[in-house]
Amino acid sequence: MRDFSGDHQALSINTATVRKQARLDQIIDACARRDIRMICPWRDQVHAVGLGGIAAQLRAAGIELSGYCRGGFFPAADDAGLTAALEDNRRAIDEAAALGSPCLVLVVGSLPGALTGKAAYKDIQVARAQVLDGIEATLQHARQAKLPLAIEPLHPMQAAERACVNTLEQALDICDALDPEKSGALGVAVDVYHVWWDPKLAAQIARAGRERLFAFHVCDWLLGTRDLLNDRGMMGDGIIELQKIRGWLEAAGYRGPAEVEIFSEDWWARPLDDVLTTCIERHRSVV
């Protein structure tokens, strides 16, 4: 297993972690000052500054992407919605390619309308079928663009609103169905927050193997979690065995970065510098 204690070469910052403190160009500058060499930006953050400007800034700073967030949200209530989702995913792929991202992270979506409080239907099996179809259709464009898709299983507490892919096993079943040859075009993003509880986690990481493991996201699960979405913990502040899980990924061949992605009202309320400094410290000490 790689030793992270001596430096933070393997650290990536998912820029949602500090999205309330600064614009993306400011975040990139702050990362560059700390010799953070990788980020994973969100589309809205890129759009707010401009794709061309961000791409130029990244090149000038020598900062690379560990991923691009996000594609997905395939299920829809009607054909127009399904078509719009596919178009949006093609745009996301093109943006990811323009930024030199190694993959597009897919938060696949679930019951249409659920995020705004009213589901168009309740049948999660329908949503799962629409996700399978959506990924299959999107994969064609992704292959042409040579831009791999990383399915991110989300915690079951997000199953109604954000993702009907909720275990690594389920994500890998989709990969095997749509890319049985393990071409490198389709894989998974393993976020410890979403999967740490899974009794089959070790076995499914081994099953994934190097060919399917496109991203590794870290944060922590806090005891007494107060919110289903925005109460994630800084690495080391909760109960996830980060090094053990990283060990499983590395045993399967993963050699990529550990990407910090923390949705937290607490951490969004702290100064950008403090958050990045803490991420570096914890990356070296507990990841």
Contact residues toward its own copies (CB under 8 A) are: 111, 114, 117-119, 122-124, 128, 155-157, 159-161, 164, 166-167, 170, 196-199, 221, 223-228, 238-241, 244
- Whether residue 163 contacts residue 109, with contact meaning beta carbons closer than 8 Å, is answered with yes
- Whether residue 190 contacts residue 246, with contact meaning beta carbons closer than 8 Å, is answered with no
Sheet with 68-72, strands from edge to edge, namely 64-65, 38-40, 11-14, 258-260, 213-218, 186-191, 149-151, 104-107, 68-72
Query: 159: which 2 tokens?
Result: 């199953």
Distance CA 112, CA 81 (A): 9
Beta bridge partners of 258: 11
State the burial class of residue 122 (Cβ atoms within 10 Å of its Cβ: 0-12, 13-18, 19+).
Answer: exposed
Return the amino acid letter for 234. M
Query: 81: which 2 tokens?
Result: 């919605």
Minimum distance from CB of 10 to its own copies (Å)? Answer: 22
Query: 152: which 2 tokens?
Result: 């991110």
Please, which residue, 114 or 287, has the CB nearer to its own copies?
114
Distance CA 156, CA 24 (A): 30
In terms of Cα–Cα distance, which of 170, 224, 227, 168 is closest to 196? 168
Minimum distance from CB of 116 to its own copies (Å)? Answer: 9
Minimum distance from CB of 253 to its own copies (Å)? Answer: 22
Minimum distance from CB of 44 to its own copies (Å)? Answer: 21
Please, which residue, 35 or 227, has the CB nearer to its own copies?
227
Please, which residue, 80 or 223, has the CB nearer to its own copies?
223
- Whether residue 247 contacts residue 1, with contact meaning beta carbons closer than 8 Å, is answered with yes
Minimum distance from CB of 89 to its own copies (Å)? Answer: 22
Please, which residue, 28 or 195, has the CB nearer to its own copies?
195
Minimum distance from CB of 134 to its own copies (Å)? Answer: 16
Please, which residue, 239 or 269, has the CB nearer to its own copies?
239
Distance CA 35, CA 58 (A): 13
Minimum distance from CB of 155 to its own copies (Å)? Answer: 6
Minimum distance from CB of 6 to its own copies (Å)? Answer: 24
Distance CA 41, CA 18 (A): 10
- Whether residue 84 contacts residue 118, with contact meaning beta carbons closer than 8 Å, is answered with no
Please, which residue, 62 or 199, has the CB nearer to its own copies?
199
Please, which residue, 92 or 119, has the CB nearer to its own copies?
119
Please, which residue, 72 or 257, has the CB nearer to its own copies?
72
**CA Rg, the chain, in Å?**
18
